Amino acid sequence: MALLTKTPTVRCPLMSGWADPESHVVPVARLIASLAVGLMLAAMGGMVLGEYTFQGVGIQWLSISGGVGLGAVIAWVLNRVWAHHPPLWMCGVAGLLSVAGEALAVQRDMDGYAWPPEGWVAVLLAGVAGAYGIYSANKVAAQERAKKS
C-alpha cells in the first residue's frame, strides 16, 4: 500500500518542465494539441455533417442540431485537453473551430448554391455551442478553485 501513495519524482531533466505546474511548457503544448485536435474534429465533423442535406420542405432541424452537436463535441474535447481547466480565451478558439467545421458541412451540402437560412443558423449555433461549452467549463473550474481556497 505504501507504494501506491508515494509521489513519483521526475529524474529526467528534460521532463521537469512537464511536471512543474508553473512551467510555461504545458500551456503551449496544450494549445498546440487543442488546435491540432480541434482542426481534425472540425474537418471530420464538416465532412460527415455535409452528408445531411438542407433540401426539402420546412426547417431542416437535423442539420441545425448537427451544428450544435459539432460545437459541443469540440468544446468537450478541448476541455479534456486542458484537464477540465480551460482558459477563458479558449472560448473563441472553440467557437471558431466549430464555425469552421459547420461551414464546411454547409458548403459541402449546398455544392455551390446559396446557403439557406437554416445553414446560417447551424453555423451560428455551432459557434455558440463551442464557445459556451468552454465558458461553462472555465466557470466550473473557477468555482472549484474558490472552494479549495
In this structure, is residue 70 part of a structural domain? yes
In this structure, is residue 47 part of a structural domain? no
Helix, strand, or coil here: 116?
Answer: coil
Place of cell 500500500: 1
Please tell me the total count of domains within the chain.
Answer: 1
The vertex-135 CA angle with 48 and 26, nearest 5°, equals 85
Encode the chain (149 residues) as per-residue pLDDT tens digits.
Answer: 455 555 555 555 544 444 445 556 678 888 899 999 999 999 999 999 888 776 766 667 877 888 999 999 999 999 999 888 889 999 999 999 999 999 999 898 888 888 888 889 999 999 999 999 999 999 999 999 899 88
In the predicted model, what is the mean pLDDT of the chain?
Answer: 83
Nearest Cα residue to 30 out of 102, 89, 71: 89
In this structure, is residue 145 part of a structural domain? yes
In this structure, is residue 104 part of a structural domain? yes
What is the domain extent for residue 104? 61-149
pTM of this prediction exceeds 0.85: no
In this structure, is residue 93 part of a structural domain? yes
pLDDT in the model for residue 2:
52
